[in-house]
Structure 1
Amino acid sequence: MKKTLITLAISLISLLGPLNMTATAQVVINGQLVQGQELALLEYLMGTRIPAGRYWLDQNGNWGYEGNPVIQGNIFASQYGNPQPSNSNRSGSSTHYDPSDGSYMIRGSNGCTIVSTPSGSISSC
């Protein structure tokens, strides 16, 4: 699962085009230091900067503070929200997240598309 998330993150980075690099905040997720483009991608998905801290993140996008099992939010719902889970940004990229089955589609401004479902992902690049 971890390898799938990392592969997906790398694919998303290439689809989204250039992202601003985040300052070197100490963000630790599931015991792993997250920085550079990975942190920029998560901040893009969240629609905000992620404060320094220690967090957990599950396969459904739910997150919380390390050591506390209470869900604080969802990285997909943060940006896509309900009831309209689609979004377009100024760079020409667009996203659609379906909370009913956890699938999403991202179209990059470079013409690439990725579709990800719980059973796998496919890219048109």
Structure 2
Amino acid sequence: MTKETAVSVAEFEALQRLVCDSLSADRIAAARLVMVDGLSYPDAAERYGVTRQAVWKTVQRMFETLNAYREARVLEDAALARVLPRGWRRATVSAPGAIVDRFEAEAEVAYQARMHQVAAAEAALRAAQVVKKSPANRPG
């Protein structure tokens, strides 16, 4: 396994959850040695008493699942980007709890203000449509 195909611990943990019902714990552990730790297929196979081919097949299957997982995340991110208010972006932040709490509170205030603007704009649009449709405004 090369650095280009290495998998992060976080990705592997998510991936492991997706395959745990269809692959044995030993096969998953051997695949981790290859995918995360960079061990060779023979070394990983020897540690878990399985064949090199079994480890290779497991790694291939896990990469197929990982690619589907990554594609799904891209689709999710794109869908979320479409529903965010104009000018907003999505981010993942790791910071001290107090900073994250403050950020979340500020983001919630900004979101509520935006939703209030949207509701006011919708109400104004509905009112304009009612005025436009009223009998007094129709040509006679």
Q: TM-score, normalised by structure 2?
A: 0.26
Q: Which has the higher helix share?
A: 2
User: Larger radius of gyration, structure 1 or 2?
Assistant: 2
Q: TM-score, normalised by structure 1?
A: 0.27
